[in-house]
Chains A and B, each alone.
Chain A
């Protein structure tokens, strides 16, 4: 119907590698962006999707070659930096990922948005207010005067979209614009992106999460190792994926997948075909024993009530999913359960034994029953330690003994979390995100705990990597009967992983129930809002 806004044929981007080699980040990628349409580019980190998107703005530092690189009628294969500046912002704009770090905390929002515009300061400010108005910022005139720390996360995200839209671009690139956002924020950004389409903008949306891309995109490109493995209209790609990798990505989405059903696929030895990862059957015998019992926990920081009167329990061998958006008090609750924060009121007991509040020396014996896993495993490792030192330190109770016995146990732990023993001498810095989280799980398992407290364990991982870690956690629970307190903001993950779900907001526990109840018949208005905002993921029912 329209002439394409962007046409790319055989785009390749290479970066200089070690020893004069070239690293091919993008290989022979062709794509078209059409006004009023959205193209989704999906792939895991390192697949070249961001490099591809950035080449639309001339922002790659590598060596870019293409047979055709046509941006709004301009041949962009050999533009100077000055000519690129004409294009950036005015013709092609980018919505940045991290609202917290992308806005200068010392400058008012209107200057962050409109400083690049021509015209007087007054005109620019007016333009900024209008842009904020068009992205539905509440009280735009007031917000324009404020600085980013004074805004909520959602407002910052809106400001970033306004910033991208201020030059009335014809092409917008959204690079992981919804990654790591809370459910309702993600919904808001997705709605905004859909609106851009209606305004006749050609949109390129990049994400590792196929479920989110599918909400907006008309066509999807699946990238892996710098190449396009599959492309096509969204409906067709989701309902009838051709390439194994696309199938793998689809299977990795946890929404609506039955408890303990596998998400990841493993390559069988012959001919690289994939088959579903298999779990042992669910032979858990759930008893009345409570692994964790929390009674009336409260914690106030200054005059801010972080957690007020929270009570719940985790039956032995089961998983309680604790859902809430950032700032809902779920991490503070976890820290009180782990004995890292002293509750103002209330108590925590573990297998019927009083655990918190208590003196550290009195409860040290109970600590062996409790393990913890964090969102950023790297921060929880001593930066000077290798993988083997981390495990031995955990196994030996901090004595860092060099005994053979510990070395053998460390190897067993690695095997348990499906990591190769060759990683023992590596620093965690050299491991991938998924490997790091596996190492963190291995460390937490060192004292053979009966309970794991997992605080956003997969939020920083790509969906495909997340699938493998979730499968690992499922397997461990089935094999060892470990009880999980699983904290996350991601409804799809919590639905798949939990027997019971507890919902927190503003420090209060508003609803507790079985996973089925909470997801399908939420009774509290907040839970209902949350469920309504979650991506509407249809294709699962079709399979």
Chain B
């Protein structure tokens, strides 16, 4: 077995020394991914320090959460992807169970009942976890069968996606529900569903959205849509966040105002400057270049994640790794697009930069899964 590994590693396109690969592989860690993630974490803490008004406490807490995430990632990576496949149904129903518990005894913040405070655990958002549980479950469903999937398999996949999404909608957290739906849909797309079906679905969504807006959407949701199209219809109310955020970004220019000099954020004109709108702080203080650096760091993670999914040995691993990569991308894109006014505002953190607990740990679970897929695939015995 070990000898076989050596043969494989000799062909390693990245040309690691045999000795190294051996060690890293034994630890189930993928060095390029780890390095990219660590760089991203460092950059995130650096931005957070300024965004929090030079509050070391906040930064220390975030660093601790990241450390916790690394431990979780390391632990997850130790388990082979095959065992995740086995446990997927249990994890899925456990997740559904948590969502039901949230509906019963959850804590409401900002209008959404999404937090769960269980005794002995820090409070967390089960809906965040579902962003990975759902693609994992769909990958389990479709990966166990030949791809491209048949229509009835796609249908059941949709049921797998719909159940937790509905529960999250009931929590009144439309943004997270959309993210969960998208994460599941990515698996179906990667599994090779027919383009005809994809295009038909897109048309269906486009046709259905006016009906949704007219008959289903709640007033605050309509308000967000209207504000997206014209922030200045209520510049001191609903449009305030996006206007101030755009002012911060635009005033940053190419090179930014310098670290700690972001007047918009330090004078509290940007709301949620530590969390969802932290990109505005970055753009104000480091300009377009700073944002480009962040995008570069994200790209390095994404490229490695894509490579891992391509190299995965079986369908489940491929679909899981591929969907995790796309969910990660979705996080990044939706947050950046929302802060810069390209998408309506939905509550969504900027991965590894925004202050947050559950979202950070969830991301690290995703990285752990990627590493698991990558480092165990070579030793998988069918």
* Pairing of A with B: no
